[in-house]
Structure 1
């Protein structure tokens, strides 16, 4: 398995990438073709569907960026990390944690996401 912090950093970088071509290249290197992503709001299969989720989050939170919010932990083929989503230099209104499961090639094949802090809806 690649270094766990490196994997988490590359994962969050993919979520932060706004250039479609650069994001597609990052996703191809990072995720298996049949990646499954599940969080409390959405469940999708495959890179194109995950890309659509990333674009929707970027549109919902323009100018916000994902960042690690603590240490990265791993065992076997699983990596767990906490993250925050917010504007650079300010407190993040959104926070959560993800567990990523990697395949034999070191690509993420499953992401189980949890939301710990979300902004109140009007």
Structure 2
């Protein structure tokens, strides 16, 4: 149940070798929200981009590398200009771009909220 979700969230959010749900800090607050609230937030921030797998994968890679474009592009196996193009497409669809610090935070939270929703959907039903 909830412990499985917490464990998955800790593994997804923390890069270090040992992590617990308590290590998530403010992300724990996000994960405690009802699914409907998370879905509404994702829809508001990501809009149509929320169903675009290559945009979301590109955004997550960029955010996970601290917005180091070359490193994120390498991780994705694409050219840096391809990643820039994708983020321009994201801006056109959402009005947000990861180069802007306040928008970057909203984008990061939306990506994490989408991951939390996916983890909840994958969670087995209680017996």
- TM-score norm. by structure 2 comes to 0.25
Higher strand share: 1
- TM-score norm. by structure 1 comes to 0.26
CA radius of gyration, larger in: 2
Higher helix share: 2
Greater relative CO (CA pairs within 8 A, separation 6+): 2
